[in-house]
Structure 1
Amino acid sequence: MILTKENVIAKANAASKNTLMETLNIEIIDYGDDFLVARMPVNSRVHQPDGVLHGGATAALAESVGSFASHIFIDTEKFFIRGIEISANHIKSIKEGFVYAKATFIHKGRTTQLLDIRVTDEADNLISVCKLSTISLPKKS
């Protein structure tokens, strides 16, 4: 199978069935040589009690897009990815619409990866800044 943008996006979204990503309606929407973008609707399913986007949902979006980005750039026949640390700084609240998470690599090593994930709203306002560390682990034979 030739890796096209559409194939990568379709494969990522298909892998999300019956997962937290499906529960939160997280969808991969764009991909390039060094980035991956996902979006998530902001509605009552991801609100905290006062009606704004829950920071935990934002962190779940960031870890999902960052882990998928690391996954795309490794040999998945030999390795799997796990998140090992995530941090999130929430800058602005949002009540409705969509948030977009764009993961870009700060470091793309063979064993560890470090990603910057910017979460924005539909008007490109910064909602959160996240950093994710992932590790590539060998699959057992």
Structure 2
Amino acid sequence: MHAKDTRSGSPLTGSPIRALPGNYEQELADAHVPDHIRPWLAESGVGALVVKLGIVFEELSAERSVATMPVEGNTQIAGILHGGASAALAETLGSFSATLHAGPGKIAMGIDLNATHHRPASTGVVRGVCTAIHLGRTTTSHEIVIKDESGRRLCTARITNLLRNLPQEVAQAAR
């Protein structure tokens, strides 16, 4: 699949939050962040939790985002995928999509996340597909469906994000 930003004529520039200066080129490549989105994340990377969970992006846009995550390394004591790992995958997809919708100079902040866990997974890779429900001026809502390699639904999540302007000094530094 090819990642894309479907907003017309609106290239992403600047980072929503400036991290300490660093070289995130390899981190962005390892997470398969699409080339056109890399300038947006150049100063912050994808985040330590995304790296730790092994999340790899296949597609990123405001309307639809897709990523995979290995079960191994993300299990709870019973040897099955940790519900918190599923929730983190869902929040990652929904928050990235919301931030892409918000555009430069804005940030998405999660205000509600809920997840229903339908069945366990103990091996393989899971795939989360995030679909926009509402893309507004001040809020967004996305549904995230996480399935196993056999296509069985493991988790259904929904996230609502509040869209806010970045503080003036952060927005200026991101330019």
TM-score tier, shorter chain, comes to 0.7 to 0.9
- Residue identity over aligned pairs, in percent, reads 31
The 1:74–1:140 alpha-carbon spacing in structure 2 relative to 1, beyond 3 Å, is same
Aligned to 2:134: 107
Tell me the matched-pair count.
137
Q: 2:46 — aligned with what?
A: 16
Partner of residue 26, structure 1:
55
1:138 aligns to what? Answer: 165
The 1-side partners of 2:80 and 2:163 are apart by: 34
TM-score, normalised via structure 1 length: 0.87
Q: 2: CA distance between counterparts of 1:13 and 1:40?
A: 20
The alignment's C-alpha RMSD in Å is 2.2
Structure with max Cα Rg: 2
Code of the aligned partner of 2:155: S
* Aligned position for 2:85: 57
Do the aligned residues in 2 keep the contact of 1:52 with 1:95 (CA within 8 Å)? yes
Secondary structure at 2:60's aligned position in 1? strand
Contact 2:67 2:129 in 1 (8 A): yes
Contact 1:66 1:117 in 2 (8 A): yes
Map 1:16-95 → 2, pairs under 5 A: 16-17=46-47, 19-31=48-60, 34-43=63-72, 45-76=73-104, 78-95=105-122
Name the amino acid aligned to 2:88: A
Residue 151 (structure 2) pairs with residue 124 (structure 1): yes
DSSP 3-state at the match of 1:46 = coil
Larger displacement relative to structure 2 (31-40 or 62-71) = 31-40
Which portions of structure 1, spanning 4 or more consecutive aligned residues, are displaced by more than 3 angstroms? 8-14
Q: Which amino acid aligns with 2:46?
A: S
Gaps of 5+ in 2: 1-9, 13-32, 169-175
Residues 13 and 28, structure 1, Cα contact 8 Å, conserved in 2: no
Encode CA deviations 1:56-104: one digit per residue, 9 max, x unaligned.
110001000110011112222x211111110000011000111111111
CA contact (8 A) 1:9 1:29 kept: no
Whether the 8 Å CA contact 1:12–1:28 is kept in 2: the answer is: no
Residue 133 of structure 1 aligns with an amino acid whose one-letter code is T
